[in-house]
Structure 1
Amino acid sequence: MRNGLDFSFDESIVSMIEKLQQRKNVLWINHNRQNQVSSLFSIREVQEAENRLERFAPYLESAFSKLEAANGIIESSIIRIPRMKMWLEKASAQPIQGELWLKEDHNLPVSGSIKARGGIYEVLTYAERLALEDGLITEKDNYHAFADQAFKKLFSSHRIIVGSTGNLGLSIGIMGAKMGFNVTVHMSADAKEWKKALLREKGAIVVEHKADYEKAVAQGREEAKQDPNAYFVDDEHSHTLFLGYAVAGLRLKKQFDDAGVVVDEDHPLYVYLPCGIGGGPGGVAFGLQLVFGPHVHCFFAEPAESPCMLLGLATGLHDQIAVQDIGLTNQTEADGLAVGRPSGFVGKLVEPFLAGSYTVHDDQLFAMLSGLVESENIKLEPSALAGMIGSTLLAGQKKVKGQPVHLVWATGGSMVPDDIMEQYIKKGRNTPMMCFTMN
């Protein structure tokens, strides 16, 4: 091992690490899965998070015009993508059993990614706490009042600080600045320039780092310690972020019921979640496990150069090991997933129920983006395509039983500038189909 670290693993783990080092498509199955969620959070706490979001709906509806039609509820739709299923089957030479669906978190209002769930929820939770402590509101009042100047005056004396590769920073920055907070976003070297520009446009302070995500977070955490009026959004350890993401489980159940989609023993649900440090996919997976129990099988999808959660879970070391320790670079076009060390909090929490994790190459991301545009006219940012390859990897391993429902979680993309999106699509069109040879 690098960096003076000396770990001893059994042969199967050594073999898996060697495949990771060779940048192969690795599928790790959690053979210690117990289908039991942690007792750290309950369905009641997730419902309380949903209730908080509903209390804020009147304010959100007035603050963002795009939320008027949804009455202030930030949620995305689910759609079938049968033509993309055919594209994947052709590209991978693997038949995919069951239906393929897309969860359109790339179209989530306000910040255009899955981070609109946890990130915005954490800002709202902090704002509510300050307003309740100051006596400006009670939980029985109409939260439309949060648009009043008295609230903005209160929030203007407080800071929110976060470290991010991009999308979490966008959700915190856009929401925080809108409410009147002073927001500072520490952005890692992987963050895209357009995301930094958009944050500045919305009124946030952006601090750029030449180092990776881990260093950006550390700097943000240290800065917050120096200011008694600063609140640090901790993507590695935040229970509040986690609960905000978990609400997705309650909402997806209702969406499936409305669409007539059955999830049971004969119709298992397979969900593919792009994963960076683990907070967003971990929270969503937790919520899904609470709702669907043993009938849901959640997989994390990670770049071949940044499979931090897979590495932490498979070795059992969690945040005590980083991808750099096995010689990987943590350099990927999937900026939101460019994390070298996983959240130990999330890893240990999902370990009992997560079905597994797998890796995907950057060229596969771009090829699938081009394929999705051609087949379904849907545009995602590269990192959001990580989940798309999951059903083909499982099909190749003969892991899927019954008449399954495959759900790809599209984590971002609607806010990508048109010219940059066209560059992504062009790059995908120029990627040879042989990139789907699962090596």
Structure 2
Amino acid sequence: MSAVDAMRERKEIVWLNPDLKAVRPRFEMKGYKFVHMKAAQSRLMRFLPYIASAFPETAPKKGVIESELIPIPAVQERLNSCGANIRGKVFLKDDAHLPIAGSVKARGGIHEVLKIAETLAQRAGMLWPTDNYGRIDSDEFRQFYSQYRIQVGSTGNLGISIGRTAARLGFRAVVHMSGDAKEWKKQLLRSEGVLVKEYAGDYSEAVANGRKESEADPNSFFIDDENSEDLFFGYSTAAMRVSVQLAKRDIPVDAKHPLFVYLPCGVGGAPGGITFGFKQLFGPYVHCFFAEPVESPCVTLGMATGEHEKICVQDIGLTGRTLADGLACGRPSGFVCSMMEELMSGAFTVCDERLTEYQQMVRELENIRLEPSACAGFKGLEDICREGSAFAEYLKANGLTELMENAVHIVWATGGGLMPD
């Protein structure tokens, strides 16, 4: 049975990328280089004084928006007791508890809003790169930004990231939310002064409406999750942060110590950007797999068929409806699919029931609260070393089977930190 036929039947599958290349660190991909990731990191650093001032919860870390890399041996032991045979060290990257947004979207979303704010202020002669950006947290700047709108289409988490940041700066923030967005996410945004527009349809409808409305207003900026380079490179900076966290633990990533990263995937921006970042740093020694729900495997479908954004999950009879609302995207980002052609190792799908089981397991064993979307990566971790799994073919083909005792696994927990009790 082909991967597409299996997806059509809502089976949990593993798709291995036949076009994966062993790129070297600091490579160039379709005109994009390490310097693009470094520029995003530098911008976030310039804004540290502003972030620390405007969002007091970040003050203890001087405005740095970062999450913990948490060892989860109890989860590894539980999965192994069920036949997983996971070898190596296992970590959870807890982006669910990133400040401001409570999700991985804090990385890309906040970066793009800050870039818009910086560009506007510099053009107006109000800001120079050498300034202390803490001065942006002032009535003068809020009044200046209030003449502009920032809009985005979202299933929830990206809207929280962009809406909260834009509103705090003084922009008139508008979030166009799809029918599967959780009510608590809408209420949170409204409490911050964000205008929430609701749609009965899916993510693509919300994005299309937001884009159309923004195009009609010359003072409006639309943050396009399907095509944004600034989101992508904001996400990519996560790899730089993780490389430091690994180094502090004396954990190498090299030919004898492979790194595996399991990334929940919606339209593809966050996992794509993070993969680009890791590949820039570690080249062929890092292996990135995307995790998607069986009802909305849009990137897996786009990559497996080679159609990229020209195909959506509804084309093969899927609904796009899933408990994992943060991953409920029917059509992938064409930009991300193009960038991932030679970089992503593969993708896998996971059913909603299993997401709930993983969510409960992490809460029970590690006392970490995650939303269902954030748990998709555990399916890859569970199967990576399992005898007879499709991953075994990947390990053998890449000479990794005998190295797994030295492997490091990172399950990326993408959201849920702001969930109400």
TM-score by length of structure 2 reads 0.94
Q: CA deviation at 1:239?
A: 0.6
Match of 1:325 in 2: 315
Secondary structure of the residue aligned to 1:69 is helix
Q: In the alignment, is the contact (CA less than 8 A) between 1:27 and 1:393 conserved in 2?
A: no
Determine if the alignment matches structure 1 residue 52 to structure 2 residue 38. Answer: no
Q: 2:365 aligns with which of 354, 375, 383?
A: 375
Aligned equivalent of 1:288, options 266, 278, 290: 278
Question: What is the DSSP-based 3-state SS (H/G/I as helix, E as strand, rest coil) of the residue aligned with 2:211?
Answer: helix
Q: Distance in 1 between matches of 2:162 and 2:355?
A: 26
> Among residues 411, 415, 419, which one is paired with 1:412 in the alignment?
415
Question: Gapped runs of 5+ residues in structure 2?
Answer: none
Give the whole-Å Cα distance in 2 for the aligned partners of 1:23 and 1:194.
Answer: 29
1:178 counterpart = 2:165:
no
From 209, 222, 242, the counterpart of 2:212: 222
2: CA distance, partners of 1:89 / 1:21 = 30
Could you tell me how far 1:89 is from its partner in structure 2?
Answer: 2.0
Q: Does 1:84 align with 2:71?
A: no
Query: Among residues 51, 55, 62, which one is paired with 1:64 in the alignment?
Result: 55
Cα offset, 1:40, TM superposition: 2.6
- Whether 2:154 is the aligned partner of 1:164: answer yes
Offset of residue 296 of structure 1: 0.2
Helix, strand or coil for the counterpart of 1:378? coil
- AA paired with 2:31? L
- Whole-Å Cα distance in 2 between the matches of residues 372 and 45 of structure 1? 35
TM-superposed deviation, 1:161? 0.6
Match of 2:61, SS?
coil
Residue in 2 aligned with 1:101?
A: 91
Give the deviation of 1:265 after TM superposition: 1.2
Distance of 2:2 and 2:127 partners within structure 1: 58
CA drift at 1:373: 1.2
Report deviation, 1:353. 1.1
Asked whether 1:20 is paired with 2:7, we answer: yes
SS state at 1:260 partner: coil
1: CA distance, partners of 2:81 / 2:328: 29
| 1:112–1:412 Cα contact (<8 Å) kept | yes
The structural deviation recorded for 1:217 is 0.2
Partner of 1:359, secondary structure, is strand
Contact 2:227 2:333 in 1 (8 A): yes
C-alpha distance in structure 2 between counterparts of 1:242 and 1:73, whole Å: 19
Cα pair 2:4 2:304 within 8 Å, conserved: no
Q: Is the Cα–Cα contact under 8 Å of residues 265 and 327 in structure 2 kept in the other structure?
A: yes
Other structure's SS at 2:377 match: helix
Deviations 1:82-129 (A, max 9, x none): 0011122234x2211111111110110011100000000000000000
Determine if contact 1:333/1:382 at 8 Å carries over to the other structure.
yes
Residue correspondence of structure 1 range 1-40 to structure 2 within 5 A: 15-36=2-23, 38-40=29-31
* SS in structure 2 at match of 1:395: coil
SS in 2 for 1:325: helix
Aligned pair 1:316/2:306, yes or no?
A: yes
Q: Would the aligned equivalents of 1:62 and 1:68 in 2 still touch at CA under 8 Å?
A: yes
Structure 1 residue 145 corresponds to structure 2 residue 135: yes
State the shift of 1:52 in Å.
0.7
Runs of 5+ in structure 1 lacking a partner? 1-13, 419-439
Deviation at 1:20, TM superposition (A): 1.1
Contact 1:58 1:142 in 2 (8 A): yes
Q: Secondary structure at the match of 2:150?
A: strand
After TM superposition, list the pairs within 5 Å mapping 1:124-139 onto structure 2: 124-139=114-129
Identity percentage of aligned residues = 48
In 2: Cα distance, 1:99 partner to 1:24 partner: 29
Which moves more between the two structures, 35-44 or 377-386?
35-44
Distance (whole Å) between structure 1 residues aligned to residue 62 and residue 283 of structure 2: 30
Separation in 2, partners of 1:391, 1:64: 35
- 1:156-305 equivalent positions in 2, closer than 5 A: 156-305=146-295
CA contact (8 A) 2:53 2:134 kept: yes
> Could you tell which deviates more after superposition, 272-281 or 29-38?
29-38
**Kept in 1: contact 2:151–2:173 (CA 8 A):** yes
Query: How many angstroms does 1:302 deviate by?
Result: 0.1
> Aligned residue for 1:422?
none
- Offset, 1:394: 2.1
CA–CA separation in structure 1 for the residues paired with 2:251 and 2:57:
28
2:342 match: secondary structure: coil
Deviation for aligned residue 1:278: 0.3
Counterpart secondary structure, 1:68: helix
Find 1:112's aligned residue among 99, 102, 108: 102
Task: State the shift of 1:39 in Å.
Answer: 3.9
Structure 1 counterpart of 2:328: 338
Match of 1:84, SS? helix
**TM-aligned CA deviation for residue 250 of structure 1:** 1.2
